[in-house]
A = this chain, B = another copy of it.
Amino acid sequence: MTRIQPTQLRDASEIAHFDAEADVIVVGLGCAGSSLLIEACDAGADVLLLERASGGGGTSANSGGLIYLGGGTPVQKAAGFEDDPEEMFKFLVAASSPGADEEKIRLFCEDSVEHFHWFEGQGVPFKRSFHPEPSMEAITDDCLVYSGGEDAWPYDRIARPAPRGHKPQVAGKAGPFFMRKLLEAVERRSARFQWDTLVETLVVQSDGRVVGVVARVAGETRCYRARCGVVLAAGGFSLDEAMVQRHVPQLALCSNKNATEGDDGRGIRMGQGAGGDVVRMDQGEVALPGTIPHRLSRGIYVNARGQRFINEDTYYGHVGIEALFVQEGRVHLLLDEATFERGLVRMEPAFVGETVEEVEREAGFPAGALQATVEFYNRDAGHGEDSQFHKRAECVVPLVTPPFALIDCTPESFIYACMTLGGLRTGVNGEVLTPDGTEIPGLYAVGRTAALFCGRGYAGSGISLADGTYFGRRAGRALAGMRS
Chain A 102-127 interface 0/1 with B at a Cβ cutoff of 8 Å (1 = within): 00000000000000000000000000
Tell me, in angstroms, the Cα distance from A250 to B99 when the chains sit together.
Answer: 8
Does A306 count as interface, using CB distance less than 8 angstroms? yes
CB of A275 to closest CB in B, whole Å? 6
Of all A-B residue pairs in the complex, the 10 with the closest CB atoms, nearest first, are A366-B387, A99-B249, A98-B249, A5-B436, A269-B435, A282-B282, A7-B434, A305-B388, A272-B435, A372-B376
Does A397 count as interface, using CB distance less than 8 angstroms? no
Among residues of B, the one whose C-beta sits closest to the C-beta of A97 is: B249
Chain B residues positioned under 8 Å from A379 (CB to CB): 368
Known: A11-B206, A273-B275, A435-B269. A387 touches B372 (CB 8 A): no
A435 touches which of B6, B280, B368, B389 (Cβ 8 Å)? B6
Does A438 count as interface, using CB distance less than 8 angstroms? yes
Q: Which A residues, 376 to 410, have Cβ-Cβ distances below 8 Å to chain B?
A: 376, 379-380, 387-389
Q: Which A residues, 12 to 34, have Cβ-Cβ distances below 8 Å to chain B?
A: none
Does A437 count as interface, using CB distance less than 8 angstroms? yes
The answer to whether B435 touches A247 (Cβ under 8 A) is no
Does A43 count as interface, using CB distance less than 8 angstroms? no
Does A326 count as interface, using CB distance less than 8 angstroms? yes
Does A332 count as interface, using CB distance less than 8 angstroms? no
Tell me, in angstroms, the Cα distance from A268 to B436 when the chains sit together.
Answer: 11
The answer to whether A7 touches B376 (Cβ under 8 A) is no
Does A338 count as interface, using CB distance less than 8 angstroms? no
Tell me, in angstroms, the Cα distance from A247 to B279 when the chains sit together.
Answer: 6
Chain B residues positioned under 8 Å from A185 (CB to CB): none
The answer to whether A388 touches B376 (Cβ under 8 A) is no
Does A281 count as interface, using CB distance less than 8 angstroms? yes
Secondary structure of the A contact surface, majority rule: loop
The answer to whether B387 touches A436 (Cβ under 8 A) is no
Chain B residues positioned under 8 Å from A389 (CB to CB): 305
Chain B residues positioned under 8 Å from A273 (CB to CB): 275, 434-436
Does A164 count as interface, using CB distance less than 8 angstroms? no
Chain B residues positioned under 8 Å from A435 (CB to CB): 6-7, 243, 265, 268-269, 272-273
Among residues of B, the one whose C-beta sits closest to the C-beta of A371 is: B376
Chain B residues positioned under 8 Å from A307 (CB to CB): 307, 388
Tell me, in angstroms, the Cα distance from A436 to B369 when the chains sit together.
Answer: 47
Among residues of B, the one whose C-beta sits closest to the C-beta of A369 is: B388
Known: A5-B436, A268-B435, A307-B307. A376 touches B369 (CB 8 A): yes
Tell me, in angstroms, the Cα distance from A101 to B176 when the chains sit together.
Answer: 40
Copies of this chain, whole number: 2
The answer to whether A434 touches B272 (Cβ under 8 A) is yes
Does A188 count as interface, using CB distance less than 8 angstroms? no
The answer to whether A7 touches B438 (Cβ under 8 A) is yes
Residue of A5, A8, A98, A252 contacting most chain B CB atoms (<10 Å): A98
Among residues of B, the one whose C-beta sits closest to the C-beta of A277 is: B272
Chain B residues positioned under 8 Å from A437 (CB to CB): 242
CB of A157 to closest CB in B, whole Å? 14
Tell me, in angstroms, the Cα distance from A435 to B269 when the chains sit together.
Answer: 6
Tell me, in angstroms, the Cα distance from A436 to B379 when the chains sit together.
Answer: 56
The answer to whether B387 touches A376 (Cβ under 8 A) is no
Tell me, in angstroms, the Cα distance from A307 to B309 when the chains sit together.
Answer: 9
Q: Which A residues, 214 to 270, have Cβ-Cβ distances below 8 Å to chain B?
A: 242-243, 245-247, 249-250, 252, 265, 268-269
The answer to whether B376 touches A250 (Cβ under 8 A) is no
The answer to whether A250 touches B11 (Cβ under 8 A) is no
Does A425 count as interface, using CB distance less than 8 angstroms? yes
The answer to whether A269 touches B366 (Cβ under 8 A) is no
Chain B residues positioned under 8 Å from A376 (CB to CB): 368-369, 372
CB of A266 to closest CB in B, whole Å? 9
Tell me, in angstroms, the Cα distance from A206 to B247 when the chains sit together.
Answer: 30
Tell me, in angstroms, the Cα distance from A272 to B275 when the chains sit together.
Answer: 7
The answer to whether A436 touches B7 (Cβ under 8 A) is yes
Chain B residues positioned under 8 Å from A269 (CB to CB): 434-436
Tell me, in angstroms, the Cα distance from A339 to B268 when the chains sit together.
Answer: 53
A387 touches which of B243, B282, B368 (Cβ 8 Å)? B368
Chain B residues positioned under 8 Å from A250 (CB to CB): 98
Tell me, in angstroms, the Cα distance from A250 to B456 when the chains sit together.
Answer: 11
CB of A411 to closest CB in B, whole Å? 12
Tell me, in angstroms, the Cα distance from A436 to B97 when the chains sit together.
Answer: 31
Does A139 count as interface, using CB distance less than 8 angstroms? no
Does A278 count as interface, using CB distance less than 8 angstroms? yes
Among residues of B, the one whose C-beta sits closest to the C-beta of A207 is: B11
Chain B residues positioned under 8 Å from A366 (CB to CB): 387-388
